[in-house]
Amino acid sequence: MHKEILEDIGEKELINRLGKFMPKNQISDDCALIRTKNKNLLVNTDSLVENVHFNDITICPGDLGWKAVVSNISDLLSSGSKKTIGITISLVLPSRTEWIWVEELYKGINKALKEYGGVILGGDCSKGNEKIISITAFGIQGELELRRNACKPGDIILTTGIHGLSKLGFLIQNKTNFDKKFSLNERLIAKSVEHFCRPRVYPNFLNNLLKTRSNKKIKRIGCTDSSDGLFQALQDLASASKCKAIINYEKMPKDKDWPQGDKWDGYYFYGGEDYELVFSLPKKWAKNLTKLDKDINEIGFFADGEPSIVFKESNKNKLLNKTPFKHF
């Protein structure tokens, strides 16, 4: 009899199966909501594994520490956290790891916490064959609940920032040889490496949402982040909300020097680790927000239909045949 292995099952199915051991809807978002008497908590855990997410060639320990924190804070923000309380850190390290590597890692962690809030609450460490940094972050749920299953037909789909840059930065750090017909200028190279090594999040995002909310009765909106790529973010929203995402390719915000072609579209939609927010709002709210924040762009809308993603431009639907990032 064939025994199932994780590579066959895939990350999403693995999470679905593990969800049977947890309270209902506990796995529907990246963060878990803990209801308390005074303030509701959001809890998120993210792990970075050597030779899966990083190596000594692609990123230095200081940047890795920064990135480990930001990846967690991005998930907290995408669930509506108004404040990061702190983090715990679990380290798995080979016994021959140099102390200077660990020290620089923690310097990067503290820089990110100083920038975005929170403190180190504790943690654990153990010996292993490869380096693993696992961080659990705790945040306070804000007035708006941001959830993957809260998108509605008619909602406008929006995204912060630009996608694909982190993927390009990763390729550059790995000394990838690009097709000579694509000329990457120094500005795009520097910007992409920065996005990969020192990603940033949007601490004013929730305040801007509240400022521009046209209907104060709305308490929940659809949202996730693009840590696993823009395509995966859209797929997660469509699947959780049981509606169809219709994307306007022409409206996708790209860097002015981003090359054209299917390969570069693949980097853009499937690259991951950009930590941009992908979300949906009613039309009036979306219009108000994009007027206030020029870094936020409308990229499509949700409609009734089977959970799926289609492009408004039918000739672009071939992009949807690519394989998103897999953890297994």
For 111-140, what is each residue's pLDDT tens digit?
A: 999 999 998 888 888 888 999 999 999 999
Q: Which of 48-52, 152-156, 200-204, 262-266 ranks highest by mean pLDDT?
A: 152-156
Q: Please check the confidence at residue 2 and state whether its pLDDT lies above 80.
A: no
pLDDT above 80: residue 37: no
DSSP labels for 240-255?
HHT-EEEE-GGG----
| 6: confidence class by pLDDT, cuts 50, 70, 90 | low
Quickly list H helices, the chain: 6-9, 11-18, 61-77, 99-116, 165-173, 186-197, 205-212, 230-241, 262-270, 283-292
**pLDDT of amino acid 225:** 96
3-state helix, strand, coil in the chain (%, to 5): 40, 25, 40
Model confidence at 277: pLDDT above 90 = yes
Range of the domain at 210: 145-321
Pair 125, 152 in one domain: no
Find, among 188, 167, 136, 182, the residue nearest to 276 by Cα.
167
Confidence of residue 21 (pLDDT cuts 50, 70, 90): low
Residue (of 186, 272, 185) closest to 235 by Cα position? 272
pLDDT of residue 226: 95
Q: Does residue 33 carry a pLDDT above 90?
A: no
Q: Note whether residue 179 is domain-resident.
A: yes
CA-to-CA distance for 139 and 31, rounded, in angstroms? Answer: 9
Q: In this structure, are 85 and 199 located in the same domain?
A: no
**pLDDT band at 183, cuts 50/70/90?**
confident
Distances (CA, A) of 261 to 172, 186, 321, 325: 18, 20, 15, 20
Task: State the pTM of this model.
Answer: 0.88
Burial of residue 276, with CB atoms counted within 10 A of its CB: 0-12 exposed, 13-18 middle, 19 or more buried = buried
Q: DSSP label at 327?
A: -
Residues 40 and 122 reside in one and the same domain: yes
218-258: pLDDT as tens digits: 999 999 999 999 999 999 999 999 999 999 999 999 999 99
How many folded domains does the chain comprise? 2
CA 103 from centre of chain: 26
> What CATH number did the domain enclosing 265 receive?
3.90.650.10
Check residue 30 and give its pLDDT: 67
Same domain, 226 and 309: yes
68 and 149: one domain?
no
CATH classification at residue 101? 3.30.1330.10
Q: Is residue 11 part of a domain?
A: no
Percent pLDDT > 70 in the chain is 92
Q: What is the pLDDT of residue 203?
A: 87
Using DSSP bridges, classify how beta strands 81-93 and 119-127 pair: parallel, antiparallel or unpaired.
parallel
CA 216 remoteness from chain centre: 27
**Do 158 and 78 belong to one domain?**
no
Instruction: Tell me: pLDDT of 109 over 90.
Output: yes
Specify the higher pLDDT residue, 231 or 182: 231
Q: How many CA atoms lie within 13 A of 10 on its CB side?
A: 7
Mean pLDDT of the chain: 90
